[in-house]
Amino acid sequence: MIKSFIATTREMDDSQVAVDEILAALDLEKNLLKNSLGIVSCFSEFEETGVLKAICDALPFDCIGATTCLSAAAQEIDQMIFVVTLLTSDDCDFKTSVIPIDENYKDSIASSMSEILGLCEEIPSLLLGYFPLINAIGGDMILSAIDKATNGIPVFGTVAIDHNADYSTTRTIHNGISFAESVILGVVYGNVNVSFEIAALNKEKIRKQKAIITKSNANLLIGVNGKNVREYLQDIGLTESEFLGIVPFVIEHKDGSKPIPRAVYAFTSEGWAVCGGAMPEDATLSIGRIDSKDVLDTTSNSFKSFVEKDSFILSYSCLARYFALGLGIYNEAEIVRNLTEGENCHFAYSGGEICPLPDANGKLKNYFHNYSIVLCKLS
């Protein structure tokens, strides 16, 4: 069983004030059990001013997480906020790992996972993953390497983002140290109840017209129905510019799992689409759309059916959903706060969502998502 306690601070300059606020809220003398782990979401300036490091140094357990552009917990919602959740247990254990992501990332992941999994005889119940935002190596590629190295242990997490247009201060976090190009993993062992939920597009906003991906290379969509992507879009009356925002592709895998939206980042001169995750050949492809009402409705529906007394929910929502809210950037977080009554939920925005989905036989498979809000319930 895992218990959770959440603390926040807005103090970005005075490290001691920030530390005192966090320690007072967590009340470690009363709440700390045998084994613990901290989950962090914060505005990147907390790292720049040293407050992030000071808080993590003051906590007697490992802390992992990522920067974000907006977080929510308890009664606090803000862009410039620091959130830390204490997961603590007498019958669960936690390990952490920092894995550099470079051209040899597959070997690094395989080596690191072999080492950390060898620390305990039992198979972990869950991996909490915090991925860097790297143009050359997508989150889907990192997740695939972890999935292979662990033989499919469920992975839940996010890709780090920040508030800058060029995402220049995006960082993953381990014990107060920030990393531009490293994966941070939290490994959860033992008696933990865990379940997952995901919501993305309103089904009514997905076109009924479907096609087949006939050629691709990882996240590069090359051919649809035997034509290049540009030609296919022209055939159905769409232009490339419509996709660079709130119009995603939607892919359906053959294993019977839920459809997955895919962001489109750019189009190449050849007329191919650079997407936010893997575009597997032979998968069914359709086209969706999202607006602020869709964001709020899907979030509300997913939380209403998922909230449970005496459990903790960790939730990440796609940056595209944040942008779709327009001027109402706090509205999704307010729904989360209201439906959880301000307790036992840690929410932040994401540059890519990581969440398992069940296939047609109910077996969990790891997937990388765009345009989605993902939820992990722990107790």
124 shares its domain with 176 = yes
The count of structural domains within the chain is 2
Mean pLDDT of 179-202: 92
Q: What is the pLDDT of residue 342?
A: 62
The one-letter amino acid at 193: N
The Cβ-side half-sphere exposure at 37, using a 13 Å CA radius, reads 21
10 shares its domain with 72 = yes
Q: What is the pLDDT of residue 244?
A: 61
Q: What is the pLDDT of residue 6?
A: 95
31 shares its domain with 180 = yes
Q: Last residue of a domain, which of 287, 309, 336?
A: 287
Mean pLDDT of 101-108: 92
108 shares its domain with 22 = yes
Best CA proximity match to 40, nearest among 3, 71, 78: 71
141 shares its domain with 212 = no
30 shares its domain with 150 = yes
Q: How far is CA 369 from the centre of its chain?
A: 8
Confidence of residue 135 (pLDDT cuts 50, 70, 90): confident
Phi, psi (rounded to 5 degrees) for 227: -120, 160
The one-letter amino acid at 257: S
Q: What is the pLDDT of residue 243?
A: 65
Mean pLDDT of 306-330: 91
Q: What is the pLDDT of residue 238?
A: 82
**How does the average pLDDT of the chain come out, rounded?**
91
Read off the pTM.
Answer: 0.92
> Tell me: the pLDDT tens digits for 239-267?
777 666 667 889 887 777 778 888 888 88
99 shares its domain with 247 = no
> Tell me: the pLDDT tens digits for 275-284?
888 888 999 9
- In the chain, the percentage of residues whose pLDDT exceeds 90 is 65
142 shares its domain with 207 = no
Q: Last residue of a domain, which of 287, 316, 332?
A: 287
Q: What is the pLDDT of residue 37?
A: 98
The one-letter amino acid at 210: K
312 shares its domain with 168 = yes
Residue 372 has pLDDT above 90, yes or no: yes
35 shares its domain with 7 = yes
Q: Last residue of a domain, which of 287, 319, 353?
A: 287
- In the chain, the percentage of residues whose pLDDT exceeds 70 is 98
How many C-beta atoms lie closer than 10 Å to residue 327's C-beta?
7
Q: How far is CA 19 from the centre of its chain?
A: 26
CA 183 – CA 341 distance, rounded (Å): 32
The domain of 12 spans 3-198+294-378
Residue 171 has pLDDT above 80, yes or no: yes
Helix (H) / strand (E) containing 300 = helix 292-304
**β-strands 264-267, 273-275 pairing:** antiparallel
Cα–Cα distance list, 176 to 66, 162, 237, 323, 348 (Å)? 10, 17, 50, 29, 18
82 shares its domain with 128 = yes
119 shares its domain with 256 = no
- Given a contact cutoff of 8 angstroms between Cβ atoms, the answer to whether 184 and 65 are in contact is yes
CA 206 – CA 249 distance, rounded (Å): 9
> Tell me: the pLDDT tens digits for 283-307?
999 888 888 999 999 999 999 989 8
- Given a contact cutoff of 8 angstroms between Cβ atoms, the answer to whether 295 and 336 are in contact is no
Confidence of residue 208 (pLDDT cuts 50, 70, 90): confident
- What's the burial of 159, exposed, middle or buried (CB within 10 Å: 0-12/13-18/19+)? buried
